[in-house]
Every structure is written in C-alpha cells, then in structure tokens.
Amino acid sequence: MVNEATIWKLFENIFDPEVPVLSILDLGIVREVHVKSKQEVEIVITPTYSGCPAMDVIGMSIRMALLQEGFTQVQVKQVLSPAWTTDWMSESGKQKLKAYGIAPPNHKQLVCTPDAFQEEEAVQCPHCGSYHTQLVSRFGSTACKALYQCNDCQEPFDYFKCH
C-alpha cells in the first residue's frame, strides 16, 4: 500500500515545466497530502503566483503519477492562501536554479543612497558571481522571473523574483 511518505517521495520526480531542473518539492508548492483510502488521495498545491499557466501541467503530472501508483480517485486542489513565497523553496532548489543559469531569489537589503535608505535586491550573476548587475525588464522568460544583465561579464540572465 502506498502511504503519505511514498507520495512525497514520488513528487521528487515531478518537475516544473517552466524550470525543468526544479521538482515541485524544490518549489515548495505541495502543501498537503491526504491519503483517504487505498484508491483515493487529495493533494493540496499553491501556485507560485495566481494564474500561473504551469499549474495545469503540474496538476496533470501529479494525477498521472498517482494513477500509476494505483490511485483511481485523485483530487488536486489549488489553494491561494496563504500565498506562496520564495521562502518555501528548498535551498537545494535555489542551488539548482543557480547551476541552471537562473539567479535564485534574494531578500531585499537596506541600501544607503544619497537621498535616503531604500530597499534594493542584490542580484548575483549566476555566470560569474558578480553583484554588479542591472535590471533590464521586470519580466523575463516567465512572469515569475525578471531579466537582468551582468555589468561585468555582460551576460543576460533570468532572476527568480522574490515574493
């Protein structure tokens, strides 16, 4: 019989279609697993942002994986509250992003400017490691990423936005 721990382990092999190096566990979008019987399971997921188009593919991947394990009644429920945050991402997932060439999310830092203190994101280039980077566009290849360019190596790169 498949138990809850087995299902969590199974999710290590379901990947985000937009960032294929991240499992749904790396992303932290799986909130709950409820095994209701030998045939019935409910999975609760939270999208990285409301309207994320990858969630349909992820939901279908979850259903397919669980059907292969013998569950005939699979419910994938999306919840929006509490809202997903990059704090839910695994550290391993953040390292996988960096190795893939996407800057992982950073928390904003307080920076002193000539006029005042303000919060800014310190975004490190995943190619050369420099923090001498600039925002090119608030939206990168997907809505959850921004496009940056490194001022040192001149390479453009996606940054997984912190939220």
Cα 98 to Cα 132: distance, rounded to the nearest angstrom:
16
Cα of 68 vs its chain's centroid, Å: 25
pTM of the model: 0.85
**DSSP H stretches of helix in the chain:** 4-10, 24-27, 54-68, 91-100
Please check the confidence at residue 26 and state whether its pLDDT lies above 80: yes
pLDDT > 90: percent of the chain: 76
Cα 128 to Cα 52: distance, rounded to the nearest angstrom:
30
Average pLDDT of the chain is: 90
pLDDT at 106: 80
Q: How confident is the model at residue 4 (pLDDT cuts 50, 70, 90)?
A: very high
Per-domain boundaries in the chain? 4-86, 101-160
Superfamily of domain 4-86: Fe-S cluster assembly (FSCA) (3.30.300.130)
Cα of 60 vs its chain's centroid, Å: 17
Sign, CA torsion 31/65/76/14: positive
pLDDT at 94: 95
Per-residue model confidence as pLDDT tens digits over 27-43: 999 999 999 988 999 99
Cβ proximity of 32 and 41 under 8 Å = no
Per-residue model confidence as pLDDT tens digits over 116-162: 666 667 899 999 999 999 999 998 888 889 999 999 999 999 999 87
